[in-house]
Amino acid sequence: MAEFNTSVKDHGEISTVYLEGYLDAHTAPNLEETFSKLINNGKYKIVANFKDLAYISSAGLGVFMAFIEKVRENDGDIKLSAMNDKVYNIFDLLGFPLLYEIFKTEDEAIKKFDETK
Amino acid sequence: MKANNKNIKEYQLKVKSRTENLSEIRKFIQKHAKEAGISANVIEDMILAGDEACTNVIKHAYKNQPEGEIVVKVQYSDKTFKITIVDHGFSFNPERIPIPDIRKSYEEKKVGGLGIYLMKKLMDEVKYISIPGKYNQVQLIKNLNSSI
């Protein structure tokens, strides 16, 4: 079975979700739950850190699409960061850079939130 | 496992229609693609295409019913690497699913069709055969002469 884990770290009102392992149709519900918890707690400024994500399929990308509107309606965003080339390539093939801000590092993503306060 | 002749190798994996088996399917494709001497980047593309095809089978052909059977076959020669996925679930015609437009999906809050689009982007050929009431077959083909 594929291993996938998330952990969350707060930086003031911004929350970083660290993704680790393999994100596929089996593990996507785990990420959905993480986003649901954040949103239920009024956390709408979210940075996803992909540094330790080895693999993503469209089921994983779908999770980002499922939550983005709710988050933006509440003056928040999901900003993506630290993807390896392979993972970025999948986001790129599906046109995600049109709708999501993608940063090289988590710090840059956090900074962007701070700038747009 | 059988070798038809010295040029074509063929292997088969049978799993139940459960998402927990996707990792086993990916490992199966990876193992044989490595044996075929294919480069790591191309192997990753083929693994993802296979995952997407099997995810569609689980969700659409078997509608998440966990006792369906999925047969994944790989065949390779020095010219092509072919992944064939067969199920006995409901017939669905992925050709009818439009190419996703990420902006439109966003506006309409619809997530879907991404997997089929990826398969087509990542492989050289994607072929479907569906005989309603009998079986569905997806074939993912990579030409090797240009991609190794």
Q: Tokens 């994500």 belong to which residue?
A: A53
pLDDT at site B7? 84
Single-letter code of the amino acid located at B63: K
Nearest CA in chain A to B41: A86
Class of domain A4-111 as given by CATH: alpha beta
Q: Residue B148 — pLDDT band, cuts 50, 70, 90? A: very low
The minimum CA-CA distance between A58 and chain B, rounded to whole Å, is 6
Fold of B2-147: Heat Shock Protein 90 (3.30.565)
Tell me how far the alpha carbon of residue B116 is from its chain's centroid: 10
| Segment B62-68 long-range contacts (CB within 8 Å, at least 24 positions apart) | B62/B17, B62/B87, B62/B89, B62/B90, B63/B89, B63/B90, B64/B17, B65/B17, B65/B89, B66/B16, B66/B17, B66/B18, B67/B16, B67/B17, B68/B16, B68/B17
CB contact under 8 A, A90 and B118: yes
pLDDT at site B92? 72
Q: CA–CA separation, A87 vs A64, rounded Å?
A: 14
Q: Can you read off the two tokens belonging to residue B85?
A: 């996925």
pLDDT at residue A68 is higher than 60: yes
- The whole-chain average pLDDT of chain B stands at 88
pLDDT at site B114? 87
Q: Rounded to two decimals, what is the model's pTM?
A: 0.91
The minimum CA-CA distance between B20 and chain A, rounded to whole Å, is 6
Chain B residues with CB under 8 Å of A84 CB are none
Q: CA–CA separation, A38 vs B47, rounded Å?
A: 32
- In 3D space, the residue among B119, B124, B11, B28 whose CA is nearest the CA of residue B75 turns out to be B11
Cα angle B127, B131, B137; round to 5 = 35
Q: CA–CA separation, A25 vs A53, rounded Å?
A: 15
Asked if residues A75 and A103 have their Cβ atoms less than 8 Å apart, the reply is: no
Domain boundaries of chain B, sorted by first residue: 2-147
CB contact under 8 A, B23 and A99: no
Residues A8-62 have pLDDT tens digits of: 999 999 999 999 999 999 999 999 999 999 999 999 999 999 999 999 999 999 9
Question: How big is the A-B interface in CB pairs under 8 Å?
Answer: 70
**Could you report the predicted ipTM of this complex, rounded to two decimals?**
0.93
The minimum CA-CA distance between A110 and chain B, rounded to whole Å, is 24
Nearest CA in chain A to B120: A93
pLDDT at site B133? 86
Residues B55-89 have pLDDT tens digits of: 999 999 999 999 999 999 999 999 999 999 999 99
Q: For residue B110, what are the contacts with CB-CB under 8 A and spacing of at least 6?
A: B104
Span between the terminal Cα atoms of chain B, in Å:
24
- The whole-chain average pLDDT of chain A stands at 95
Cα torsion at B128, B16, B83, B46 (round to 10°)? 110
Domain boundaries of chain A, sorted by first residue: 4-111
pLDDT at site B110? 55
